[in-house]
Structure 1
Amino acid sequence: MLRGFYTAASGMLAQQRKTEMLTNNMANANTPGFKADQSSMRAFPEMLLSRIDRVEIPTEKTLNLRQSPEIGTLNNGVYMQDANPSFIQGALESTDRKTDFALQDVNMPINEATGLPGSVFFTVEGTDGQPRYTRNGNFTVDAQGFLTAGNGQYVLDDQGNRIQLNSDQFDLSENGVISENGAEVGRLGIAFSANPERLSKQGNGLFLPENNQPLPSAYNNPNVRFTTQQGYIEGSNVDSGKTMTDMLTAYRAFEANQKILQAYDRSMDKAVNEVGRVNG
């Protein structure tokens, strides 16, 4: 019975974690470039139970043979795997703002190990001076004329340098080239990750590569095809309807485990306080 407490509790904890993940997804349903987290439930290895028993064979000295007949398997509960973002393309939304950029995936190579396509990202400069990556192209031009991301990170060009402009009246071509008054200013730094599931979220729509190793340029990969769109931003890829349904399912599963836990508690109360009680 005590193991039943742990099994039900593990189910509650797993569903709580899933609810928190889905709540965060729903809260960012309107955040540009947001990539929804996803995960799945897994069961802990089951235990095979057997009963220790013995059989008496009627002989002159009564031979006892020990045996352990199988009772069955016992589940040890469930857990939620680590949440990983889904890099499915979000819908492009028109803003008509010169400083809003969006990446449009055209052809992303499939990773043979995962069976999933790679993804391209804007490159920005982190607070530690190292590159970070984002799909949120809601940029602005600061007081010094530098193109910056929403939280003040500098947007980098394909040479790893900050992009400085004279005004917010500039043009962006589909191949990432920024021009001002007919003169080329630079080319957006677009990076490619063959396995974006290995990237870790850093908050504010930023991703950090594994071992902090910079991602390669997408321009150097002939198999990667994409376009950059000015006056658009990529919306979140959160499916609000499905997320709400999953949240309700997780809540109901949490509630079911809670009722099981309460039933175990009542049974334990009877076992301790009523069963075997001697009346005076």
Structure 2
Amino acid sequence: MIRGLYTAAAGMVTEQRRHDTATQNIANLNTTGYKQVESISHSFPNVLISAMQGGIVKPIGRMNTGVFAEQSMSKFLQGDLVESGKSTDFALSADLRLADPTTGANLPFDASGKYISDQGEIIYQPQAFFTVQDNDGNTLYTRNGGFTVTPAGELLSSGGYKVLGADGRPVVLNGTVDNLKVDEKGNLLDATGAPTGVRLGISIVTRPENLVRDGNGVFHAEDAQAAGIRYAAAGDNMQVRQGYIEGSNVDVTQVTVDLNAAYRAYEANQKVIQFYDSSLQKAVNDVGRV
């Protein structure tokens, strides 16, 4: 009975986290460059149940001890591009591919941006990010291209981070904001349309599942090599769209369903706990009195 009580309690905690995740997604429906979060649940390790009778142990079988929300995964799908008309607004449009190491053919990623190999390995589609830097010199990654320009000409992200160029240094504009022109590869152009030699630092993250969400629309990589981070190359199927911003990729319908499902599952586990509580009360009071 006590095992069932703990299992139901673990279910309540898990559903509370699922509910909080869905609420977070709904709250960021209109956040530029926001990536939907999904709560991943796993079971606790199974335990082996045995019965002892007359000094002889007889195995009964395995029993699961509950569920827990192990982690939150970001869904790095392309959000809708919205035209803003501002010269300092940028959006990334990318459809990056990854070759199968065995056959050399491009992996067929599904609509959710992942591929499951014959061995059961999950491989996520590479993603492109703007590269920014905080005041401590840490490199961060974002899809929010709503930039601003300081009086000194520094290009800053909406969170106040310095936008880095392909050379790893902060981008500083030489001309006025009105004359800011950027081509599809991220090259800054002069008044005649010629490249200035400065290019936005667009990072390609080969394994985006290794990125850690920091808030303020930015991510960081604890191990850049494990995440397979590099700057964009000429052959990458990626474009910079000036005068556009990327909207949130939250699926409103799916998130609403998840929210209601989490609420109902939480209620179900709550009723189970109430049942166990009532049973224990009878065992202590009524059976004890007999």
Tell me if 1:28 matches 2:23: no
Query: Where does residue 176 of structure 2 map in the other structure?
Result: 167
Tell me the CA shift for residue 215 of structure 1.
Answer: 2.9
Query: What is the distance in 2 between the residues matched to 1:125 and 1:41?
Result: 33
Query: Where does residue 99 of structure 1 map in the other structure?
Result: 88
Query: What is the distance in 1 between the residues matched to 2:41 and 2:94?
Result: 30
Report if the CA contact (8 A) 2:210-2:221 is conserved: yes
- Tell me the secondary structure at the aligned position of residue 162 of structure 1: coil
Report if the CA contact (8 A) 1:178-1:188 is conserved: yes
Deviations 1:89-129 (A, max 9, x none): 11111111111101101333268763221111111112211
- Tell me the secondary structure at the aligned position of residue 275 of structure 1: helix
Alignment map for 1:49-198 (pairs within 5 Å): 49-54=49-54, 66-109=55-98, 114-165=122-173, 166-169=175-178, 170-182=180-192, 183-185=194-196, 186-198=198-210
Residues 111 and 22 of structure 1: is their aligned pair in 2 closer, same or farther, counting only changes over 3 Å? farther
Residues 111 and 157 of structure 1: is their aligned pair in 2 closer, same or farther, counting only changes over 3 Å? farther
Report if the CA contact (8 A) 1:35-1:87 is conserved: yes
| Number of equivalences | 265
Tell me the CA shift for residue 70 of structure 1.
Answer: 4.9
Deviations 1:26-59 (A, max 9, x none): 11111111111113322223334332224xxxxx
Alignment map for 1:35-50 (pairs within 5 Å): 35-50=35-50
Structure 1 residues without counterparts, runs of 5 or longer: 55-65
Deviations 1:140-192 (A, max 9, x none): 11221211100211111111122222322211111111113125342111111
Report if the CA contact (8 A) 2:17-2:39 is conserved: no
Residues 110 and 210 of structure 1: is their aligned pair in 2 closer, same or farther, counting only changes over 3 Å? farther
Report if the CA contact (8 A) 1:111-1:118 is conserved: no
- Tell me the secondary structure at the aligned position of residue 82 of structure 1: strand
- Tell me the secondary structure at the aligned position of residue 213 of structure 2: strand
Query: What is the distance in 2 between the residues matched to 1:195 and 1:215?
Result: 8
Query: What is the distance in 2 between the residues matched to 1:91 and 1:74?
Result: 46
Quick check: 162-171 or 243-252, which moved more? 162-171
Residues 129 and 70 of structure 1: is their aligned pair in 2 closer, same or farther, counting only changes over 3 Å? closer
Query: What is the distance in 2 between the residues matched to 1:267 and 1:108?
Result: 57
Query: Where does residue 13 of structure 1 map in the other structure?
Result: 13
Query: What is the distance in 1 between the residues matched to 2:28 and 2:15?
Result: 20
Report if the CA contact (8 A) 2:206-2:229 is conserved: no
Query: Where does residue 247 of structure 1 map in the other structure?
Result: 259
Question: Which letter does structure 1 place at the counterpart of 2:185?
Answer: N
Query: What is the distance in 1 between the residues matched to 2:99 and 2:289?
Result: 68
Query: Where does residue 225 of structure 1 map in the other structure?
Result: 237
Report if the CA contact (8 A) 2:124-2:209 is conserved: no
Question: Which letter does structure 2 place at the counterpart of 1:217?
Answer: Y
Query: What is the distance in 2 between the residues matched to 1:38 and 1:111?
Result: 27
Query: Where does residue 267 of structure 1 map in the other structure?
Result: 279
Question: Which letter does structure 2 place at the counterpart of 1:167?
Answer: T
Report if the CA contact (8 A) 1:111-1:117 is conserved: no
Residues 70 and 160 of structure 1: is their aligned pair in 2 closer, same or farther, counting only changes over 3 Å? closer
Tell me how large the CA RMSD over aligned residues is. Answer: 2.0
Structure 2 residues without counterparts, runs of 5 or longer: 102-120
Report if the CA contact (8 A) 1:111-1:194 is conserved: no
Identical residues among aligned pairs (%): 41
Provide TM-score, normalisation by structure 1. 0.88
Residues 111 and 135 of structure 1: is their aligned pair in 2 closer, same or farther, counting only changes over 3 Å? farther
